Amino acid sequence: MGLVFGLTTLMVLLAVVSLVFHDPWSEFASLAENQEFRFALLFSLGTTAVATIIAILTGIPVAYCLARFEFPGKALIATVLEIPIMLPPLVSGVALLIFFGEVLGSALAKTGLALVFTYRGVIAAQWFVAAPFGIKAFRQAFEAVDPRMEKMARTLGYSPAAVFFKVTLRLTGESLLGGITMVWARTLGEFGAVAMLAGITRLKTETLPAAIFLNISLGDIDFAVAAAAVMLVIAFFLLLALKIFTRKEVGF
Amino acid sequence: MNDELLQVSQLNVRAESFRLRDISFSVEADEYLTVVGPTGCGKTVLLESLAGLRRASSGSVVFCGKEIGRLPPEARHMGYSCQDALLYPFASVEENIWLAARARGVARDPSVRKRMAELMERMGIGHLLRRRPAFLSGGERQRVSLARAILTRPRLVLLDEPLSALDPRTRREIRELLRDLHLSEGMGFIHVTHDFSEALALGDSMAVMKAGRIEQKGSSMDVFHRPASLFAARFLGGENILSGTVRRSNGQAWFAVREGPFLGPLTVDVPAGAGFVLIRAGHLRLERVGGPIDADNSWVAVVSSFVIGGTHVDVLCTGGCRWQASVPLSDWPGLRLVAGDSVTLSVRPENIHVIPGGGWKDRRERGGYCSLAHTRIAGLAQSGSNGFKGGKRD
C-alpha cells in the first residue's frame, strides 16, 4: 500500500517537474517578445473568460432548477447535461462541428455569426466541455443550502429574485467560486473540441494548448515547453484558488 | 368583530404526502394562540401556510381584513421565527436583524433605527451586535431571531417551536421574554409547540392538532381542563382518564367509572352512554381516612407509591382503578403517608370532565393508555383495594 502511494506520488511529481528539467526559463525572456506566444496567451485568456462567463450565466440557473425543483424527467435531463463530462473532447468537437456546421451552419453564416473555424467556435467548444462541470459544482453548492434559509428571507420581505441574489448567492459564494475556478481551468486546458470546431490556425484560433501542439509538431520544442510551463504555473494557482474556495485541504 | 386579526376558514393544504384538512380558526389582535400537537401533526405546515410559504389548495385566510390566500410571503408581513433561529452565517447579528428593515425598504427610516436600538436593549443582545451567528449560544440565537422577526412591527408573529432546542434555564428566560413582548408589543402571536406545559404557560388560547386537523380550540385553561377528545386529554397530560358510562337520573347526568366510584352530578350536560372521565391530579383531593365516608364523589384508595417533585408530590393510589393525586409539597409532611396506607380521594363535581364516546377506536386508544406513572409503578401497585364507598350505584 505504502509503496503504491509513494510511487504514484513520485510519478505525478516527476512528470510535472520534468517540464522544468527541460529548462524553459531560458526561453521565458524571449517569450514576452514572441508575437505568437503573446497572441496565444491573450487569445486564451480572452476566450476562456468569455466561455467561463457564459458557463456561469447558463450554469447557475440550470443548477438552481436542478437543486430546488422537482419535475418529470429531472434525472434524465441531469444525465443529458453531464454527457460532455464522459465524452472524449474530440467526440464533443465532432458533434459540435456537425451541429454548428451542417445543421446550423448556413443560418449562422447569414447572420454573420458563423462558429466553425472562428474565435466564436473556440468559445463555444470551451463552454460546451466545461459547462457540465460548472452545473455539477453549482448544483452541489445550491443543494447544500437549507431551503428554509431562503423561506425565512421571503418572510422578512424579499422577493424570490432578491432572495437569490442577497441570500442564496451569499450562502453559496465560496462553493460557487470553487465551481467557477474549475470551469475556467477546464476551458483553459481544452484542446480536442476546440481543434475540431475552430481548427488550429496560427494567430487566428490559436489558444495556448493549440500553440503548444502546433510548435511541438513543427519541432520548436523550446517554445512549446516554455508555453507549457506558463500553463503549469496558471494551473498551480488555479488549483490553489480552488482549494481555498472549497476549504477542503487548506487549513484556513 | 373589528379586533379580529386573522380568520382562517376551511383551509386545505397538501404538503408532499401530508395534508392539512379543513382548518378553521381565528386570532384576535393581541391574542397569544398556542397550537399543540405531536410531532408530524402538521403544526409547521400550518405556520408555513399562514406565512405564505406553502400554497393552500382551498380555503381562505383573511389577515387584517384582507384576503391574503394568494399573496406571496413578502406581501403578508408576518414575523417568523423557528427552533433553529435560521440566522445567516455570512452576516453579523446586527446585519441579520437589519436585513428585515432592508427587505422592507425602511432601513433609512430614523424611527426604525430607534426601534432597533430599543429592541437590542430589551432583548439583551446589545453586546452581541458584531458577532457572527456561529459564535452565539442557543438562547442568544433565539433572541436575535425574535428581534429580526418583530423589528418592522408585524401585526402577527409566527413562532415554530422557539423553545424546543434550549436548555431548561434558557427556555424559562426566553419564555419570560416572549410573555413580555406579547404584553408590550400589542401583536398577535401564533406559537406552535409539542409541549403542552409551554403552551399553557404562554398562551391565552390553545388549539390542539391531530393528523392535519384542529381537534379543539379554546381558552388555554378550558382546553387543558376540558379537552374535547380522548386524544386531547391524553396529549395534554391527563393524569386520570378512566372509561365508564354516563347515566341519567332525575334529569341529571352522572358518571359511573368502570370498577370505580360513581361521580356527579355533572355540571355540564352529557348524553347517556359510554365515555371517559378526566380528573386532573391537582383536582383530586387526598386525605387520610378518618371515620366513615358518606359524601358524594369520595372513595377510599390505597397508596401504592409516590414521587416527590419540586412543588408537588404525585401520589399513586389503587382504589378499584388507579388514581394519581397531586399533593402540594407543603401539605405532604402533615399527611405522613407510606405505601399501603388507606386514603380518601374526593373531587368536586365541577372538576369532573366527561368526554362522551367510547367506540371501538376510543377503546383501542384507551387500551394503550394508562398514564406513564401508573405503568411505571404497576409492579408495586397493590391489588385488592377497598374499592369505592359512598358513591351512588344504579
Condensed to tens digits (0 to 9), the pLDDT of residues B181-233 reads 999 999 999 999 999 999 999 999 999 999 999 999 999 999 999 999 999 99
CA dihedral B161, B166, B172, B175 (to 10 degrees): -30
Q: What is the mean pLDDT of chain A?
A: 91
Q: Tell me whether A154 touches chain B (CB under 8 Å).
A: yes
Contacts of A154 in chain B (CB under 8 A): 51-53, 72-74
User: DSSP 3-state assignment of B217?
Assistant: strand
Q: Is pLDDT above 50 for B365? A: no
Q: Which of A159, A160, A167 lies at the smallest CB-CB distance from B88?
A: A167
Q: How far apart are CA A206 and CA A214, in angstroms?
A: 9
CA distance A4 to chain B (A): 42
Q: Which of A152, A167, A173 lies at the smallest CB-CB distance from B80?
A: A152
CA distance A214 to chain B (A): 48
What pLDDT sits at residue A248?
53
Banded pLDDT at B357 (limits 50, 70, 90): confident
What pLDDT sits at residue B270?
86
Per-residue pLDDT of B305-323, as tens digits, reads 999 988 999 999 997 789 9
Q: Is pLDDT above 50 for B377? A: no
Banded pLDDT at B294 (limits 50, 70, 90): low
Q: Tell me whether A161 touches chain B (CB under 8 Å).
A: no
What pLDDT sits at residue B375?
36
What pLDDT sits at residue B376?
35
Q: Alpha carbon of B392 to those of B239, B264, B382: distances in Å? A: 24, 9, 25
Contacts of A159 in chain B (CB under 8 A): 72, 74
Instruction: State the DSSP H helix or E strand holding residue A57, giving kind and residue range, or none if neither.
Output: helix A35-68
CA distance A157 to chain B (A): 4
Q: Which cell goes with B61?
A: 385566510
Per-residue pLDDT of A84-129, as tens digits, reads 999 999 999 999 999 999 899 888 888 888 889 999 999 999 999 9
Banded pLDDT at B165 (limits 50, 70, 90): confident
Q: Tell me whether A171 touches chain B (CB under 8 Å).
A: yes
Q: Which of B86, B104, B148 lies at the smallest CB-CB distance from A149?
A: B86
Place of cell 391524553: B234
Contacts of A153 in chain B (CB under 8 A): 99, 103
Closest of B4, B19, B21 to residue B214, by C-alpha? B21
What pLDDT sits at residue A252?
38
Closest residue in B to A154 (Cα–Cα): B74
Contacts of A151 in chain B (CB under 8 A): 48, 51, 53, 73
Q: How far apart are CA B53 and CA B74, in angstroms?
A: 10
More confident residue, A31 or A216: A216
Banded pLDDT at B387 (limits 50, 70, 90): very low
Per-residue pLDDT of B239-265, as tens digits, reads 999 999 999 888 889 999 988 888 988
Q: Is pLDDT above 60 for B362? A: no
Q: Is pLDDT above 90 for A68? A: yes
Q: Which amino acid is at B188?
A: G
Instruction: Enumerate domains of chain A plus CATH numbers.
Output: 27-246 (1.10.3720.10)
Report the pLDDT averaged over residues B366-386. 36
What pLDDT sits at residue A55?
97
Q: Which cell goes with B11?
A: 383551509
Banded pLDDT at B368 (limits 50, 70, 90): very low
What pLDDT sits at residue A221?
86
Q: Tell me whether A144 touches chain B (CB under 8 Å).
A: no
The per-type count for chain A, helices as H runs and strands as E runs, is 13, 0
Q: Alpha carbon of A224 to those of A7, A31, A35: distances in Å? A: 28, 10, 14
Banded pLDDT at B384 (limits 50, 70, 90): very low
Report the pLDDT averaged over residues A197-211. 92
Q: What is the mean pLDDT of chain B?
A: 87
Task: Tell me whether residue A235 is exposed, middle or buried, using C-beta atoms within 10 angstroms of its C-beta: 0 to 12, 13 to 18, 19 or more.
Answer: middle
Q: How far apart are CA A153 and CA A60, in angstroms?
A: 20
Do B80 and A157 lie within an 8 Å CB cutoff?
no
Q: Which of A156, A160, A171 lies at the smallest CB-CB distance from B103?
A: A156
Closest residue in A to B100 (Cα–Cα): A156
For an interface test with B, the pick among A155, A166, A176 (most B C-beta atoms closer than 10 Å) comes out as: A155
Q: How far apart are CA B387 and CA B369, in angstroms?
A: 21
Q: Characterize the bridge pairing of strands B321-328 and B32-36.
A: unpaired
Report the pLDDT averaged over residues B135-145. 95
Strand pairing partners for B191?
B34, B159
Closest residue in B to A174 (Cα–Cα): B90
Q: Is pLDDT above 80 for A45? A: yes
Do B103 and A153 lie within an 8 Å CB cutoff?
yes
Non-local (6+) Cβ contacts of B328 within 8 A are B311, B312, B313
Closest of B209, B163, B171, B239 to residue B38, by C-alpha? B209
Banded pLDDT at A245 (limits 50, 70, 90): confident
CA distance A152 to chain B (A): 7
Contacts of B74 in chain A (CB under 8 A): 154-159
Instruction: Enumerate domains of chain B plus CATH numbers.
Output: 4-225 (3.40.50.300), 238-377 (2.40.50.100)
Instruction: State the DSSP H helix or E strand holding residue B213, giving kind and residue range, or none if neither.
Output: strand B213-219
Q: Tell me whether A167 touches chain B (CB under 8 Å).
A: yes
Its pTM stands at 0.83
Non-local (6+) Cβ contacts of B36 within 8 A are B43, B192, B193, B194, B195, B196, B199, B206, B207, B208, B209, B235, B236
Q: Which cell goes with B103?
A: 427587505
Report the pLDDT averaged over residues B365-382. 37
Does the complex come out with an ipTM higher than 0.85?
no
Place of cell 494551473: A235
More confident residue, A247 or B146: B146
Per-residue pLDDT of A156-178, as tens digits, reads 999 999 999 999 999 998 899 99
Do A170 and B86 lie within an 8 Å CB cutoff?
no
Contacts of B88 in chain A (CB under 8 A): 149, 167, 170-171
CB-CB neighbours of B266 under 10 Å: 19
Q: Is residue B102 within 8 Å of residue B89, measured between CB atoms?
A: no
Q: Is pLDDT above 50 for B301? A: yes
CA distance A241 to chain B (A): 20
What pLDDT sits at residue B292?
58
Q: Which amino acid is at A93?
A: G
More confident residue, B383 or B138: B138
Q: Characterize the bridge pairing of strands B156-160 and B188-193.
A: parallel
What pLDDT sits at residue B291?
55
For an interface test with A, the pick among B90, B95, B160 (most A C-beta atoms closer than 10 Å) comes out as: B90
What pLDDT sits at residue B358?
63
**For residue B120, how far is the Cα from the chain centroid?**
30
CB pairs under 8 A between A and B: 57
Report the pLDDT averaged over residues B368-372. 38
Do A170 and B88 lie within an 8 Å CB cutoff?
yes
